[in-house]
Structure 1
């Protein structure tokens, strides 16, 4: 489930595409949060899940995100040019709770980073300020790992394995899927490269034996291959189209073999692209043929401004929908 693809080598824009793959609707809502919001990291959909020493903070930056079940943030970017993406990782283990450390329920993890950091480096520096606390939403355990990138092209992957945090921080870490853990994904990618070269395919071409399944490992390898071949675009429009093409290639289509067990595979619910250079956020619901986008600069982001939301399932929505958002109570 889920794929993240970062394109940080183009001269036009730093772009990050992602798929959200899930067995049911996550009830996505595009949401613009202004600066200056008071947050409670111990609350989940209005219920207290961190009773002792919850993390509380005030948002430093405004953000444009996609929420999940109205209880947290799955994806988005902030006005400073930082983006974050939450992906499922079954082997996540956050370790035992230490009440001496401020607790942050994991569904608000990336919202905390978007609220508080301007760069990947700043976001990583925040990791020691709190302890992540596991939660469940709609019967699903929120076992996740996170990808970060910023407008400079910097990148980081953050995982918690056996209770220990693992951070992969380098602009070369551009692809991310789910299982297995990131170290193993990189090893499998190197093995695939050796197979291709061993068959005499030193140059890219139609005969390269790319894996074609929809599991996380195959999607990782296809995304890495095709994103590395992206030509320099003629402009911003072509750049977004190019990263969307690779993101769609890594999607799980309707009717694809459904897999249970350790490495579960589900259909793609939606795709997004974060344009970190221009502050644009693109959204494509897989049940609709329309591509939407919004621009942070079109909103009032000042403290005290209303939270603005848009439900993307409206079939009449297409192209720039910044003026279709409406004021709403902040969901968290």
Structure 2
């Protein structure tokens, strides 16, 4: 993999090109923020913004589940040397269209988030490497890695392959974080993986690519946020990236998990896309849901934007041993609120 440990200087011409690209392309909305600077718990949050329901469910998977990285549902898209693995760790995830996981947390405190990136280019298929369809990218690391560093080492040995579901291509990049405070952003640019690895990489949105987002952020100074400081307020990825950076600088040392989750969700609500907000060229992409992960406490919080209730599940309350059943709950239920660990239903068959 190509490793980028520090943001590099990028010329004004490149920055101008990236802004033009941002204005011209279909940049779906999503935001991820990692709060790793407090002493109570490492927590992260994300928004999921999409033009329709992704039919999300919350699923809990035990250890010992056999996966086929070459399938999207019943369709085989990696016909040669598809990755096959058996889950080493249990996890809780948010599914998308029943074909993969876009967000999740495993029992070792590793978090993973897939967000849209129009610039994604997975390149030509290399059959010498086991292939994994993109909707299983996050699930692969949650199944097999305990830390960000371990996940990156595993990803060096496989290739992510473009997938498609419901007419949407999986142009995605991956954010990882763990309970030690480590973080990584992985993007496929020009057919090759580009990795930004370090605890300082706490924010991710969408286009332009992450190195260009960092260069744009260097043009502003949010180290001492003030009420009279100009702040970009639109729903495009650059504005959301900078707004997330500004509000992250205001986070206070929490006194409880309740406060920590409230603070990270407050930022995620601020960078959400309101109902009806226009996206240039391709309509409306509202925020469908928000998640918050307590990597230290192994609890997963979920907030559907069409429901007034925040729900959560505690991984410690599930049997994650090999041979245990998988569990699932549909969060689109107005009666669900608070700790819903006991509301999950056993699955006869895992969805992927």
Fold match, TM over 0.5? Answer: yes
Report the TM-score when normalising by structure 2: 0.90
Deviation of the 1:132 alpha carbon: 1.0
CA distance in 1, matches of 2:197, 2:143: 20
Deviation digits for residues 73-117 of structure 1 (CA, Å, limit 9, x no counterpart): 100000001000000000100110112221111110110000000
**Corresponding residue of 1:199:** none
SS of equivalent to 1:115? helix
Deviation digits for residues 147-205 of structure 1 (CA, Å, limit 9, x no counterpart): 00000010000000001110000100000000000000001111122xx7xxxxx8422
**Preserved contact between residue 78 and residue 115 of structure 1 (Cα < 8 Å):** yes
Deviation of the 1:265 alpha carbon: 6.6
**Corresponding residue of 1:50:** 78
Deviation of the 1:16 alpha carbon: 0.4
1:244 to 2:272 alignment: no
**Corresponding residue of 2:278:** 257
Gaps of 5+ in 1: 197-201
1:310 to 2:338 alignment: no
CA distance in 2, matches of 1:260, 1:88: 17
**Corresponding residue of 1:207:** 228
CA distance in 2, matches of 1:192, 1:265: 29
Alignment: residue pair count: 323
**Preserved contact between residue 102 and residue 138 of structure 2 (Cα < 8 Å):** yes
1:157 to 2:177 alignment: no
1:181 to 2:200 alignment: no
CA distance in 2, matches of 1:312, 1:190: 39
CA distance in 2, matches of 1:206, 1:128: 44
CA distance in 2, matches of 1:204, 1:142: 36
Query: Mean alpha-carbon deviation: is it higher for 62-71 or for 39-48?
Result: 39-48
Alignment of 1:23-38 (within 5 A): 23-38=51-66
Query: Mean alpha-carbon deviation: is it higher for 277-286 or for 228-237?
Result: 228-237
**Corresponding residue of 2:350:** 330
**Corresponding residue of 2:47:** 19
Alignment of 1:67-146 (within 5 A): 67-146=95-174
CA distance in 2, matches of 1:72, 1:5: 22
**Corresponding residue of 2:25:** none
Report the TM-score when normalising by structure 1: 0.95
Gaps of 5+ in 2: 1-28
1:191 to 2:219 alignment: yes
Deviation of the 1:120 alpha carbon: 0.1
SS of equivalent to 1:51? coil
Q: Choose the corresponding residue for 1:221, options 210, 219, 242.
A: 242
SS of equivalent to 1:242? helix
**Preserved contact between residue 90 and residue 106 of structure 2 (Cα < 8 Å):** yes
